[in-house]
Chains A and B, each alone.
Chain A
Amino acid sequence: MEKISQKQLIEQIKQLKEIKPRREWAVLLKSQILSEEKQVAGVTAKSVGIGIMDAISLVFAQRKLAYAFTVVLFLIVGVFGFARYTVPGDLLFPIKKITEQSQAALTGQSGVQQDIVALSNRINDLAQVAKDGRTNSIPLAISEINANVSQLTKNLKDNPVSDQNTMKEISNSLKTLADVTGTDLSENQDIIDLYQTVVQSQIADLHKTTLSEDKIAILDEAKELYFLGRYFEALEKILLINQ
């Protein structure tokens, strides 16, 4: 470099003022230092919020937008959490059903399995409604059960089930339903159809297997009950054979 005067040198030194840190780094560092202190202060709930805020604000860049997003996020989580305790007739009940369907889909359950779980949940809803004495909600709860039973019956007809555990689950659900206080669904056609489908499927399945003489006799009784339309008793006989 050619000779420079002291004045020129000082001017060049002053130009080094152009050196500045990256803005995003500076903002992030400040946020980290100050939010870290809030965590140390032991304000657990608040600190979790701040941590989430930092993560979200990194995505959104604007803190106000990040706050709005966090509020919406908490609202959604709150709504889904609260919906778990609703029964038919409640405002958030459809959300509960959507959540159950999503969970069933995520766990990879078959259509019949999903229907069985849903039926069990709806029976629990009916039991809860009956226990709380919410008479206005009982018809809605029964209507939900009918819809589930109808769906399950259709699925069983389309996809006959040979798994005895599945049949036991259905049988248990039907027994629970019969035990639910203050509800008499013995004349309900959807439920009768479900019993019929289950028994028919089981009898057809048992015909394909080799049975002892005792069990053949029980099967004959079950068939007789089936033809008499006494499906519940027929199912109990079949369960005896499968024990």
Chain B
Amino acid sequence: MDCLNEQFSQIYDQYIDKIYRFVYLKVDSQETAEDITSKVFIRGWEAFKKDPSGIKNQGAFLYQVARNAVVDHYRDKGRAKTVSVDASGEIADPGTNAQDMAILSADVEVVKKSIQHLKKEHQDIIIWHYLEDMPIGQIAQLIGKPEGTIRVMLHRGLKDLKSIIQES
């Protein structure tokens, strides 16, 4: 068990920032992000201790759990996330991390807010590719789509994001 603890401890250290960031950019509330990230790692740990060798790609697994947890969060709140660009700020939680506000410049803050108005899949791909430096091939595996499709989605996502920013 101590060996499993040690292994999961390393996985935790490797992914805690990434998963938190991934979740936070979707909910825009420190408290909610911490709550959802906690659930992700608890579920991750439960799955890991049941079958440590069954999870081939821990990162992909945790991201998948995080995606589902965010969906559950919005479903629980009765705010099923609208994938339309017009969905505006209603999607995001009202709270904002004051610490992040201080760190991020005003322009980047606009980008952050605008990402939340993208389609869910576009959000995921942009975050993974540009923030987590995940190669296109890995993203394709992660969401089970061809690499070409991912490139197109990434391009459309950026285009949509640019439009949202310029409208804001």
By a beta-carbon cutoff of 8 Å, the part of chain A in contact with chain B is 1, 3-4, 6, 9-10, 12-22, 25-26, 29-30, 33-34, 37-38, 41
Contacts and interface: CB of A to CB of B under 8 A. Distances in A.
B4 to A, nearest CB: 8
Given A17-B21, A20-B17, A41-B1, A33 B112 contact: no
A29 B111 CA distance: 29
A29 B165 contact: no
Interface string B121-132: 000001000110
Contacts of B24: 19, 21
A89 to B, nearest CB: 46
Contacts of A1: 107, 110, 165-166, 168
B3 to A, nearest CB: 12
Given A13-B131, A34-B8, A18 B41 contact: no
Contacts of A4: 162, 165-166
Contacts of B161: 9, 13
A34 B130 contact: no
B45 to A, nearest CB: 5
Interface string B1-42: 100010011001100110011001100001001100110011
A6 B16 contact: no
Interface stretch (B59-67, B81-89, B97-105, B134-142): B97-105
A122 to B, nearest CB: 50
B108 interface: yes
Given A30-B16, A34-B9, A16 B21 contact: yes
A112 B126 CA distance: 80
B145 interface: no
Given A1-B165, A21-B16, A37 B9 contact: no
The range of chain B's interface size is 35 or more
Nearest to B97: A19
B103 A17 contact: no
Contact of B20 (A9, A13, A21, A33): A21
A3 B20 contact: no
Interface of B: 1, 5, 8-9, 12-13, 16-17, 20-21, 24-25, 30, 33-34, 37-38, 41-42, 45, 49, 97, 99-100, 103-105, 107-108, 110-112, 115, 126, 130-131, 158, 161-162, 165-166, 168
Nearest to A30: B12
Given A14-B131, A20-B21, 19 more contacts: A1-B110, A3-B166, A9-B111, A13-B111, A13-B126, A13-B161, A18-B103, A19-B21, A19-B24, A19-B25, A19-B97, A21-B33, A22-B99, A30-B9, A30-B13, A33-B45, A34-B5, A34-B45, A41-B1
Contacts of A34: 5, 8-9, 45
A18 B100 contact: yes
A53 to B, nearest CB: 14
A25 B130 CA distance: 26
Contact of A19 (B5, B9, B12, B100): B100
A12 B34 contact: no
